Amino acid sequence: MTVRINGVGLALRGVSKPADLLADIPVGEAPPVDPAQRLGARGLRYKDRATQLALCAVRDALSDAVESDVEGSGDGLTAVVVASVTGNLGTVCAVTSTIAQEGTRGVSPMDLPNASSNVVASSVAIRFGLRGPNLTVCNGNTSGVDALFWARSLLESGRARRVVVVGVEPAGEASQRLLGGEVLDGAVALVLSREGTGARIAGFVRTREPAACLDELRTPDLWLTPGPEPTRAGVVVRDVNTVFGHAAGALGVLQCAVADEWLRANDAATAVITAGDPGDVVGGCLIERGQVERGSS
């Protein structure tokens, strides 16, 4: 079965449209995304930053998608899969600290829903009326690639007609202590479906080394991978972490959006994205260029 990228939405510093993913923008100097400015303040109160960023990206991805329905499908066939390592970590740390110091009576009832690891995915589904399967993938640096895999599985099995895939990592004291350095502080959303003419999600592999993914998938035109990797003749290699900050669980989804835009902008055929921990588990995904321009972007 063919699985296509039919919509892209971005909530990233210094980025206003998919083409900006390839531009030489000083992202570190750009102001943080202001969800209230983009969505309006209504409905954002008591929601953590990861949820707010995801809502911004999903709104734009649904608007960008072919046959879009921003208010939701209402048919139970639109799924949500979220990839994040530190999504609600700040809330969890705050709640546990309060319980340790004051007991459970000191915890605000408005904070407790945000302590669930699935709060981003469920909030997206509620906001946009997406009634299909709902899943959060939070298994480390391969989370983004794994989210794409599970999205394709939902489509191939017929459990969903389309899947909204979100990668999100918020900046904050807790996430910076865990990940170190600059954190992404943003969200990327993709709309995948079984129809359309956008870029194709063509295959997946799990190995122990990033370079081995190319051996099992294909030598591509573009290789998106974190960290230093040996160059290969004719292959452009990029590390988006150096541009946008440590993307952690959101990396695979961000890489997929960058690959989609790069393939169309350069009239290239294939890209491979790899993410994970070399020597342990690395996930790879092959992306093939679509037939025509996708959506309104």
> What does the pLDDT look like over 165-197, one tens digit per residue?
999 999 887 777 777 778 899 999 999 998 887
Phi-psi region of 104 (alpha: psi -120 to 50; beta: other; left: phi over 0): alpha
Give the per-residue pLDDT at 75. 62
DSSP letter (8 states) at residue 202:
E
Compute the mean pLDDT over every residue in the chain, rounded to the nearest whole number. 88
Q: Which residue has the higher pLDDT, 127 or 91?
A: 127
Give the per-residue pLDDT at 66. 60
Give the per-residue pLDDT at 294. 53
Q: Map out the domains of the chain with their CATH numbers.
A: 4-193 (3.40.47.10), 200-288 (3.40.47.10)
Give the per-residue pLDDT at 15. 93
Global pTM value: 0.90
> Is the pLDDT assigned to residue 296 strictly greater than 50?
no
CB under 8 Å to 244, separation ≥6 — which residues? 12, 13, 27, 184, 186, 254
> Is the pLDDT assigned to residue 153 strictly greater than 60?
yes
